[in-house]
Amino acid sequence: MKSNDSPLYQFDAQIRERFGLFCGVDEAGRGPLCGPVCCAAVILDPEDPIEGINDSKKLTEKRRETLFEQITSRAVAYQVVFVSPQEIDEKNILWATMDGMARAVRELDPQPAYALIDGNRCPPGLGVPAQAVVKGDASSASIAAASILAKVSRDRYMMELDRRYPQYELAKHKGYPTRLHYERIAQYGIQPFYRRSFLKKQGYWHEK
């Protein structure tokens, strides 16, 4: 099966036929206790289909890294937006993510005529008509590509934090609420890259 014959590319072809140039949008990192949420928007080139694009959660880390390079070099356009823990605390995780998705779409050049959003709601402020697609990263090649860019971008960011703060062992859990992570927080406290709103119930704050 050629890449553009895959069900994900066929889904995109139907959207493109109806709306013209469009982007896929997804995020990574809503659940962790620390670090940013990464939101990505991608416009794929239908004349240059990328083999193997799929929901990032179904791919190995090595495969995601390979596809990241292919997507960023061959897409018509892409944007990745990092939403800080401070913004997450100010707006809450839902609206911080919505704002990040909208910023990613608005910063695309060229601008799409339409957007496909992974999930069950469309962010306000996109600037273009949009459609929410539940489990869109398993349905649309464009959303799947966005999921890969968001996931790899966030993982790379967390690996850099791990180098700077090795005591938290972030490389092992990427900031998600595992037993190991809670043990390291109990031992070392929290840093400015933690989400206070996620840790409030545990009594942690990052003011010194």
For the chain, the domains span 3-202
Q: How far is C-alpha 188 from the chain's CA centre?
A: 28
- pLDDT, one tens digit per residue, over 112-137 is 999 999 999 999 999 999 999 999 99
- Residue (of 170, 174, 135) closest to 54 by Cα position: 135
What the block records as the tokens of 174 is 């990427």
Cβ distance 104 to 27 under 8 Å? no
Separation between Cα atoms, residue 142 and residue 139, nearest integer Å: 9
Cβ distance 175 to 57 under 8 Å? no
pLDDT grade, residue 208 (50/70/90)? Answer: very low
Q: What is the dotted CATH code of the domain comprising 3-202?
A: 3.30.420.10
- pLDDT, one tens digit per residue, over 133-178 is 999 999 999 999 999 999 999 999 999 999 999 999 999 999 999 9
pLDDT grade, residue 202 (50/70/90)? Answer: low
Taking only Cα atoms into account, the Rg of the chain, rounded to an integer number of angstroms, comes to 18
**179, β-bridge pairs:** none
Q: How far is C-alpha 156 from the chain's CA centre?
A: 12
- pLDDT, one tens digit per residue, over 27-56 is 999 999 999 999 999 999 999 999 999 989
Specify the pTM.
0.94
